């Protein structure tokens, strides 16, 4: 699994290409009944991580770019608006109202809190919709917390991801903090996640997936290899 440096992840979608579609209501989650289904649901983490890669994972840079974007006179040039009801040294709250800028569509509330040294940050997203030409992401509530010093992440909330091929809804809960691998790999060192009823226990380089009484221990890299965000619809 790629490094779970996911805070500010949806901020990264400032640079996505906007398009129609999407949903504005929480969708029913299909609970995993087999390990095979659970392996498929694991892709939810990649949807988040792929967005994060667009923006980068440096919180100081993210904060400065976020402020720069929000204060730009031409932002939302394609329609809609944004407001910043809260801005301080340690908190930023931005509300997008059907904002379209440079092909990007954003709607919802982004609230980010930073520690004094900006090494610990907490992102709270409510009723957020992000659209691009190939994917739409909606979350009624998603909270992502990270610590860059101790190298851990927590993810809690829901999201619906709609592509040209399919639409899937996810409920994610962190049971134990997810720590980045210390060996330079993209694995998670340890931690436990729950996605759509299945439990994922990380023990670098493995992850144990459990659905009811069914359990399977696999290499994290094998799940990495099975994910392709450019795959065409079958």
Cβ atoms 205, 185 nearer than 8 A: yes
Is residue 60's pLDDT more than 70?
A: no
Is residue 104's pLDDT more than 70?
A: yes
The share of the chain scoring above pLDDT 70, in percent, equals: 71
**Farthest CA pair distance, the chain:** 56
The average confidence (pLDDT) of the chain is 77
Question: Left if phi > 0, otherwise alpha if psi is -120 to 50, otherwise beta: which for 196?
Answer: left
**Does 179 fall in a domain?**
no
Query: What is the reported pLDDT for 93?
Result: 87
Cβ atoms 48, 9 nearer than 8 A: yes
Both tokens of 34, joined, read 């087999």
**Does 145 fall in a domain?**
yes
**Considering the entire predicted model, what is its pTM?**
0.80
Establish whether the linkage from the previous residue to 205 is cis, with ω within 30° of 0. yes
* Overall number of domains in the chain: 1
Residues of the domain holding 39? 9-23+31-72+83-168
Q: What is the pLDDT of residues 169-221, one digit of tens each?
A: 999 999 999 999 999 898 999 999 999 999 999 999 999 999 999 999 999 98
Q: Which helix (H) or strand (E) holds 173?
A: strand 167-180
Q: What is the pLDDT of residues 2-51, one digit of tens each?
A: 443 333 333 333 333 233 334 445 567 889 999 999 998 887 776 666 55
């Amino acid at each position: 699994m790629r490094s779970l440096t996911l805070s500010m992840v949806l901020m990264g979608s400032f640079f996505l290409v906007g398009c129609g579609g999407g949903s504005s209501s929480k969708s029913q989650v299909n609970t995993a009944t087999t390990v095979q289904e659970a392996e498929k649901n694991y892709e939810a983490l990649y949807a988040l991580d792929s967005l994060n890669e667009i923006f980068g994972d440096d919180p100081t840079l993210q904060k400065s770019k976020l402020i720069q974007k929000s204060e730009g006179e031409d932002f939302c040039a394609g329609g809609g608006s944004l407001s910043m009801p809260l801005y301080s040294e340690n908190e930023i709250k931005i509300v997008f109202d059907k904002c379209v800028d440079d092909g990007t569509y954003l709607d919802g509330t982004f609230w980010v809190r930073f520690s004094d040294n900006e090494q610990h940050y907490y992102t709270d997203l409510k009723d957020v919709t992000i659209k691009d030409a190939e994917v739409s992401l909606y979350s009624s509530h998603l909270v992502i917390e990270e610590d860059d010093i101790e190298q851990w992440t927590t993810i809690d909330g829901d999201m619906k991801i709609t592509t040209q091929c399919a639409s899937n809804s996810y409920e994610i809960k962190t049971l134990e903090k997810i720590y980045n691998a210390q060996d330079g790999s993209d694995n998670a060192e340890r931690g436990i996640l729950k996605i759509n009823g299945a439990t994922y226990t990380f023990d670098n380089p493995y992850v144990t997936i459990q659905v009811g009484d069914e359990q399977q221990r696999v290499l994290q890299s094998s799940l990495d290899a099975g994910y392709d965000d450019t795959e065409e619809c079958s």
